[in-house]
Amino acid sequence: MQRGDSIFSRLEVKKYILKKNLKRDLPSSIVVFLVALPLCLGIALASGAPLFAGLVTGVVGGIVVASFSGSQLSVSGPAAGLTAIVLGAIGQLGSYQTFLLAVVLAGGMQLILGFLKGGTIGNYFPSSVIEGMLAAIGLTLILKQLPHALGVDSDFFGDESFFQADHNNTFSAIQNALSHFTLAAIVISGLSILILIFWPKFKKLSVVPAPLVVVVLGVGLSIAFQSTGFALSAKQMVEIPVVNGWSEFTGLFTAPDFSEILNGKVWIVAVTIAVVASLETLLSIEAVDKIDPIKRVSPTNRELVAQGVGNMASGMLGGLPLTSVIVRSSANVNAGGRTKMSAIFHGVWLLLSFLLIPGVINMIPLACLAAILLVTGYKLTRVALFKHMFHKGWDQFVPFVITIIAVLLTDLLKGVAIGMLFSVFYLLRTNMRNPYFYKIQEEGDKKNIRIKLAEEVSFLNKAAIQVVLNKIPRETNVIIDGTNSRYIDPDVLETIFNYKHNAYTKGIIVILENIKTQYTVPKLNNKVIEEINN
């Protein structure tokens, strides 16, 4: 970790308390808090864990992870992508306390992975796949929040999978919502969307964050509808546990069962959580950096360390495994967040809301929160993005579209994996076509062919080079020029030397220019290595 990246750096601490940053981070933190609150509760419910566990995870993700993280806009918390793993693990391990031990161990593994510089894995995700993932998240938000905007809340608020826990899928849930909508919810969500779109256009009014106006409006309208026949039901409102006194509060915490430390099943679950949570985090970090208006680059190794510390803390307090979450992070970006103080404040608001004003929080309709996520989703999947990716060419556009479709029909990790496969296919095809430059010169009755190899010739180029060499006609002079090559893969060298050795059988004369018998990978200077490692 670089010295300048230390969370105790004076310069770093100072920038977080600057007025110009706080006036953006404080309003943004409220928006993130309002989005995160129902997500924390919904994911806990879907995971078969206590609702309080979701809140604990959100608080730890906000305060602990953000404090250690080098990312300025990423927001961590319980992830919908882990719900199936958590639900199955709790049942497999037999008790929630044993599962918490697996969460602590997973955090320790992430910590080690971060110190071993494992975060560089995130650098190998193609931009077309990341852009596709962002667009898919945006479409998922729109499709998943439509039922809540219509007042149908049969499934939990944080479900991001195509197939839901209530045996519906994304599209059947929307169809069902269109048949069982609630007028009050439509009015609240409709007015909320209009406010979110037009409120920022008025400079004098935009001093007050539009999402905060939406929440106040939602509470007011829900109260007004109570005196009519269109009152919202309890399941259409935010719902957090209400505690009476300190003893009830402390009694909600659960400690891990360390007596199961030698249980092999615990370690298998821990490894699974560590791998999946780390991949989701790296994907989210990469995506957040792309939508950061200032285009900052987050140190991925430090992020794994922060996630490891967070998961260890969450497990010790009775919480769920956490990751960097693109939904909350996107809301943070769109609300104008500038530094990690937004994420830290959102964790503080989660804690204070539970302790001080649970009754007020429970008055917020899910419809107005759905409106916030609908607008966030639209910003992620805007039409301009599709046009931009189309103009970049088919090798970028196809993996982009495939990633979107795969994420929508499966889940985040599976969708990205499918997108990666298509991206690798186009990468291989490009390498097949462009491994070298060559020109043909005619001299008398013979052809002279010069093949100029590229700066980097990898094993991916081997097949293409073999095809071209095999197509060279008889009685030809061939010069294979490696003057520009800094590195040629051993497999390619073997192909070239074998061809030179056997070409005489076709009357072909092969001359090798500036091609060594062995190449070593070019070394980076210390400064570049330090930047990559961090």
Domain ranges for the chain = 26-388, 399-432, 434-513
442: confidence class by pLDDT, cuts 50, 70, 90: low
Spatial neighbors of 122 by CB under 8 A, at least 6 apart, are 282, 283, 285, 286, 300
Q: Does the structure show a pLDDT above 50 at 1?
A: no
Q: What percent of the chain has pLDDT over 90?
A: 28
DSSP-derived secondary structure for 424-446: HHHHHHHHHH-SEEEEEEEETTE
Architecture field, domain 434-513? 2-Layer Sandwich (3.30)
For residue 163, which phi and psi values (nearest 5 degrees)? -95, 125
Helices 210-225, 183-198: axis angle to 10 degrees equals: 160
CB 433 within 8 A of CB 464: yes
Spatial neighbors of 8 by CB under 8 A, at least 6 apart, are none
Write the burial class of residue 525 (CB in 10 Å: 0-12 exposed, 13-18 middle, 19+ buried): exposed
Q: What percent of the chain has pLDDT over 70?
A: 86
Compute the distance between CA of residue 279 and CA of residue 284 in angstroms, rounded to an integer. 9
8: confidence class by pLDDT, cuts 50, 70, 90: very low
Spatial neighbors of 353 by CB under 8 A, at least 6 apart, are 33, 37, 240, 360, 361
Query: How large is the average pLDDT for residues 327-336?
Result: 87
Which stretch of DSSP H or E encloses residue 503? none
pLDDT score at 167: 59
- A 10 A CB-CB count for 446 gives 12
Looking at per-residue pLDDT, the higher value among 369 and 400 belongs to 400
DSSP-derived secondary structure for 140-174: HHHHHHHHHHTT---S-TT--SSB-TTS-BHHHHH
Spatial neighbors of 432 by CB under 8 A, at least 6 apart, are 460, 461, 463, 464
Looking at per-residue pLDDT, the higher value among 373 and 31 belongs to 31
166: confidence class by pLDDT, cuts 50, 70, 90: low
pLDDT score at 340: 92
Q: Which two tokens stand for residue 84?
A: 């199936």
CB 27 within 8 A of CB 212: yes
Q: Does the structure show a pLDDT above 70 at 434?
A: no
CB 44 within 8 A of CB 6: no
Spatial neighbors of 332 by CB under 8 A, at least 6 apart, are 28, 31, 32, 73, 74, 75, 342, 343, 346
Compute the distance between CA of residue 355 and CA of residue 341 in angstroms, rounded to an integer. 21
Compute the distance between CA of residue 7 and CA of residue 194 in angstroms, rounded to an integer. 40
Query: How large is the average pLDDT for residues 261-284?
Result: 90
Compute the distance between CA of residue 188 and CA of residue 220 in angstroms, rounded to an integer. 10
Residues 113-159 pLDDT 10s: 999 988 877 667 787 888 888 788 788 878 888 888 888 865 444 45
CA nearest neighbour of 254 among 310, 320, 347, 316: 316
Q: Does the structure show a pLDDT above 90 at 263?
A: yes
CB 101 within 8 A of CB 260: yes
Query: How large is the average pLDDT for residues 196-210?
Result: 79
Per DSSP (E only), the strands in 284-435 are: 322-324
Give the distance between the most distant pair of CA atoms in the chain: 99
pLDDT score at 14: 63
